[in-house]
Amino acid sequence: MRKAIGVDLGGSHVMAAVITEEGEILDRASEDITDHAVDKVVQAVENTIDQALSAAKGKSVAGIGIGSPGNIEPRSGTILYSPNFQWTGVPLGERLRAHFDQPVFVGNDARCATLGEYTYGTGKGTKNFALLTIGTGIGGGIVSEGHLVLGNAAGAGEIGHHQIRPTDGFICNCGKIGCFEAQASGTALIRHAFAVAPSFPRSTLLDKTRDKLGSKAIRKAAQAGDGHAVAAWKRFADDLATGLANIIAFVNPELIALGGGVSSAGDFMLEAVRGRVDELTTMVPRGTTRIAIATLGNDAGAIGAATMAFRGGLTTQASTSK
Ligand SMILES: [Zn+2]
């Protein structure tokens, strides 16, 4: 059976896994990243891939796929810019090709996760699909008619940075106001809790210091019926629904899968958005896009990166038809 190495490269951690063509993870190796200097990160990536390759015992490894944050030139695997690493023009693909015999492919991490979830997770069997990974930010990707959409400069799918509250929203890491990510990520839920706090002067919800305050605590308090948390959750869910309805208006996918840490809210989250999404779905026939929780969890990125290696790129069709 063919195997590939799928690598999930993040700002603080890199994980390389040996993955089969059925999307099964056989082995994994990981390293923390503490220094964003290019050489240090490349070294950590090489180390984990080396470990994964030795776990695979060198047998029939079809290729190496790396999912990395940033805007990435798909052919060369050059990272044009990555705010997470503060990199511009880093030839990651070329560096790794000099070190490994196997073909190397580099793609954006969220697009890799979309390809993974589409091929092996919740999206399996659909042709029109979107993934949103909702964590500290919002990443995503779109599959249209069986093709992952990359756009003219591999920039398509930056769903987190379409503005839904450009006049009264929170400021986004990208500099714009009211981006979907600024309004409907885990970080956004905390910001909504601060924003509604003046209406709840006796609330203890925000008593924890800011660095200890997580979105999960606010969501759980909302589930338990805490008034302050419920008010924050409602704003969060309304903004999430706005973004989801926009995605439906643009691409009317069969399914939108919600992944990332915040999606652990499960049905509580789905129930909070479905009604509002229907209200905001006007010209597209209602009920023609399902919304569900993604199933591959944190492994979606590595599995998608391996899928990219099996396929010989992010956008090519699978060699075996589904
Ligand atoms: Zn933004």
Specify whether 218 is located in the same domain as 130: yes
162 Cα to the center of ligand 1, angstroms? 7
Specify whether 237 is located in the same domain as 213: yes
| Per-residue CA distances from 264 to 220, 268, 292 (Å) | 11, 9, 12
Specify whether 18 is located in the same domain as 40: yes
302 Cα to the center of ligand 1, angstroms? 25
Specify whether 135 is located in the same domain as 182: yes
Residue range of the domain that includes 256: 122-295
Given this model, what pLDDT does residue 235 score?
98
Specify whether 212 is located in the same domain as 233: yes
Specify whether 167 is located in the same domain as 225: yes
Per DSSP, 265 falls in state G
Average of pLDDT values for 4-13? 96
165 Cα to the center of ligand 1, angstroms? 11
**Tens-place pLDDT, residues 256-308:** 999 999 999 999 999 999 999 999 999 999 999 999 999 999 999 999 999 99
**Tens-place pLDDT, residues 29-78:** 999 999 999 999 999 999 999 999 999 986 789 999 999 999 999 999 99
pTM value? Answer: 0.94
| Per-residue CA distances from 321 to 24, 118, 125, 218 (Å) | 18, 13, 11, 44
Per DSSP, 318 falls in state P
70 Cα to the center of ligand 1, angstroms? 13
Specify whether 126 is located in the same domain as 258: yes
Contact 93, 105 (CB under 8 A): yes
5 Cα to the center of ligand 1, angstroms? 31
Specify whether 199 is located in the same domain as 50: no
Output the domain CATH number for residue 192. Answer: 3.30.420.40
Average of pLDDT values for 209-222? 88
83 Cα to the center of ligand 1, angstroms? 12
Given this model, what pLDDT does residue 208 score?
83
319 Cα to the center of ligand 1, angstroms? 36
222 Cα to the center of ligand 1, angstroms? 26
- For residue 320, is it within any domain? no
Statement: residue 322 has pLDDT above 50? no
Model confidence band, residue 162 (pLDDT cutoffs 50, 70, 90)? very high
214 Cα to the center of ligand 1, angstroms? 21
Contact 60, 3 (CB under 8 A): yes
Statement: residue 320 has pLDDT above 90? no
Specify whether 306 is located in the same domain as 278: no
Given this model, what pLDDT does residue 238 score?
98
The alpha-helical segments, DSSP class H, found in 56-148 are: 92-97, 109-120
Given this model, what pLDDT does residue 317 score?
55
117 Cα to the center of ligand 1, angstroms? 24
171 Cα to the center of ligand 1, angstroms? 8
259 Cα to the center of ligand 1, angstroms? 19
234 Cα to the center of ligand 1, angstroms? 21
Give every CB contact of residue 85 below 8 A, 6+ residues apart in sequence.
11, 36, 41, 69, 70, 79
138 Cα to the center of ligand 1, angstroms? 9
Specify whether 149 is located in the same domain as 233: yes
Specify whether 136 is located in the same domain as 282: yes
37 Cα to the center of ligand 1, angstroms? 25
Average of pLDDT values for 15-34? 97
- For residue 318, is it within any domain? no
